Amino acid sequence: KTESTLTFYVNGRKVVDNNVDPEWTLLYYLRNKLRLCGTKLGCSEGGCGACTVMVSRYDRVKGKVIHLAINACLAPVASMHGLAVTTVEGIGSTKTHLHPVQKRIAEAHGSQCGFCTPGIVMSMYTLLRNLPKPKMKDMEIAFQGNLCRCTGYRPIIEGFRSFTEDWEQSQAMYNNHLNNGISNGNGCAKGDQCCKNKFNGVTANGGCTEDQAVLFSKTEYTPYDPSQEPIFPPELRMN
Ligand code: FES
Ligand code: FES
């Protein structure tokens, strides 16, 4: 090990490299040296987010691990020394199992050509690592750096909305309405609070059906369990 040795972690695996060109970006290193091609090269100038990966570091002052979504096309690989990088391959794949973030974007038809998808998945994943129950506003901010030329964003947001606190609340309100509204067969006992005002979920007799009321049902999704995520490499807490 020399002073110019680069040491960092990628998807839980330690990488030690004595021959790093200072001009290499993290994206170049991932795709060409580690052959991790899930992270895409779009604009190469920080504009599209196709190259988004999660970088984690231990903050000694706060005493906790901080996760950041970064553009791998801009970050020099040398700046990763002592940090942990997670790419889309590190969270799940069709060969093993899909992470709930990958599953929900797929089931919501939020991926068409798929070029932006790894970056969008990693932005959402990073948000969840920092904030397991985000609000819609947090999500909108998290996606400010990701462009998609295919989907028009609606299906992406619809799929990921299911991770938010706002969605959990709306589900609870909706279930409440189903229980109160359908039982009387003719409109809702909740009056002005009726969820039809929110969901447009009304049948001819005034009751709601789940299909009409929500685009996706919670029961279709693999639950997200933050406690199952990989741990931060203990060695990097010492550096
Ligand atoms: Fe477009 Fe990195 S490739 S932001
Ligand atoms: Fe094609 Fe997003 S799915 S760019």
Listing DSSP states for 27-65 in one string gives HHIIIIIS--TTS--SSSSSSS-TTEEEEEEEETTTTEE
Q: What is the pLDDT along the chain (239 residues), one digit of tens a residue?
A: 667 899 999 999 999 999 999 999 999 999 999 999 999 999 999 999 999 999 999 999 999 999 999 999 999 999 999 999 999 999 999 999 999 999 999 999 999 999 999 999 999 999 999 999 999 999 999 999 999 999 989 999 999 999 998 888 877 776 776 666 554 444 556 665 555 555 544 443 444 544 444 566 667 778 899 998 999 999 998 76
Residue 29 pLDDT: 98
Closest ligand (CA of 110): 2
Ligand 2 atom index nearest CA of 114: 3
Cα-to-centroid distance, 3 and ligand 2 (Å):
42
Interface pTM, i.e. ipTM: 0.98
Residue 93 pLDDT: 93
Closest ligand (CA of 72): 1
Ligand 2 atom index nearest CA of 113: 1
**117-130 vs 100-107: helix crossing angle, rounded to 10:** 130
What whole-number distance in Å separates Cα of residue 123 and Cα of residue 68? 9
Cα-to-centroid distance, 20 and ligand 2 (Å):
32
State phi, psi for 42 to the nearest 5 degrees.
-105, -85
pTM: 0.84
What whole-number distance in Å separates Cα of residue 219 and Cα of residue 225? 15
Taking CA 153 as the corner, what is the angle to CA 152 and CA 157, rounded to the nearest 5 degrees? 155
> For a pocket test of ligand 1, which of 71, 123, 147, 149 has the largest count of ligand atoms closer than 8 A to its C-beta?
71
